[in-house]
Amino acid sequence: MKAMLLRQIAPIDSGPLEWVDLPIPEPGPGEVRLRVRCCAICRTDLHVIEGDLPRQKLPIIPGHQIVGTIDKLGPLGIDTGPPRLAASGTEAKPGLVLGQRVGVAWLRHTCGQCGFCVTGQENLCESARFTGYHADGGYAEYAVARADFVYPLPAAFTDVEAAPLLCAGIIGYRALRRCQLRPGGRLAIYGFGSSAHVVIQIARHRGCEVYVVTRGEMHREFARQMGAIWAGEDAHDMPVKVDSAIIFAPAGELVLPALESLNKGGTLSLAGIYMTPIPQMDYERHLFYERDVHSVTCNTREDGRDLLAEAAAIPIRPHATAYSVADANRALQDLKHDRISGTGVLVI
pLDDT at residue 81 is higher than 80 = no
Both 95 and 21 in one domain: the answer is yes
Both 189 and 69 in one domain: the answer is no
pLDDT at residue 40, as a whole number: 97
Both 71 and 186 in one domain: the answer is no
- pLDDT tens readout for residues 87-96: 333 334 456 8
pLDDT band (50, 70, 90) for residue 70: very high
Q: Is residue 291 part of a domain?
A: yes
- Among residues 273, 235, 267, the alpha carbon closest in space to that of 253 is found at 235
pLDDT band (50, 70, 90) for residue 342: confident
Q: Is residue 77 part of a domain?
A: yes
Both 325 and 223 in one domain: the answer is no
Mean pLDDT over the full length of the chain: 92
Both 10 and 113 in one domain: the answer is yes
Instruction: Sort strands 242-247 and 262-270 into parallel, antiparallel or unpaired.
Output: parallel
Q: Is residue 178 part of a domain?
A: yes
- CATH number of the domain encompassing residue 33: 3.90.180.10
Both 153 and 229 in one domain: the answer is no
- pLDDT tens readout for residues 108-133: 999 999 999 999 999 999 999 999 99
Q: Is residue 164 part of a domain?
A: no
pLDDT at residue 112, as a whole number: 95
Would the CA dihedral through 80, 84, 88, 92 be positive or negative? positive
What are the helix (H) ranges across 59-155? none
pLDDT at residue 77, as a whole number: 44
Q: Is residue 233 part of a domain?
A: yes
- Among residues 307, 15, 339, 83, the alpha carbon closest in space to that of 193 is found at 339
Would the CA dihedral through 322, 218, 52, 329 be positive or negative? positive
Q: Which residues constitute the domain of residue 187?
A: 170-295
Burial readout 203-222 (b: 16 or more C-beta within 10 A, e: otherwise): bbbbebbbbbbbeeeebbeb
Both 34 and 111 in one domain: the answer is yes
Q: Are 344 and 334 in contact (CB under 8 A)?
A: yes
Number of structural domains, the chain? 2
Instruction: Sort strands 2-6 and 31-40 into parallel, antiparallel or unpaired.
Output: unpaired
3-state secondary structure of 199: helix
pLDDT at residue 76, as a whole number: 61
Both 283 and 246 in one domain: the answer is yes
Instruction: Sort strands 292-295 and 142-146 into parallel, antiparallel or unpaired.
Output: unpaired
Q: Is residue 55 part of a domain?
A: yes
- pLDDT tens readout for residues 289-335: 999 999 999 999 999 999 999 999 999 999 999 999 999 999 999 99
pLDDT at residue 207 is higher than 60 = yes
Both 153 and 183 in one domain: the answer is no
Would the CA dihedral through 24, 305, 40, 311 be positive or negative? positive
- Could you tell me what percent of the chain has a pLDDT over 90? 90
- Could you tell me what percent of the chain has a pLDDT over 70? 94
What average pLDDT does range 59-66 have in this prediction?
98
pLDDT at residue 95, as a whole number: 67
Both 7 and 152 in one domain: the answer is yes
Both 198 and 276 in one domain: the answer is yes
- CATH number of the domain encompassing residue 223: 3.40.50.720
Both 177 and 205 in one domain: the answer is yes
Q: Which residues pair with 292 in a beta bridge?
A: 267
Q: Is the peptide bond before 29 cis (omega within 30 degrees of 0)?
A: no
Q: Is residue 165 part of a domain?
A: no
Classify 283 in phi/psi space as left (phi over 0), alpha (psi -120 to 50) or beta.
alpha
pLDDT at residue 157, as a whole number: 94
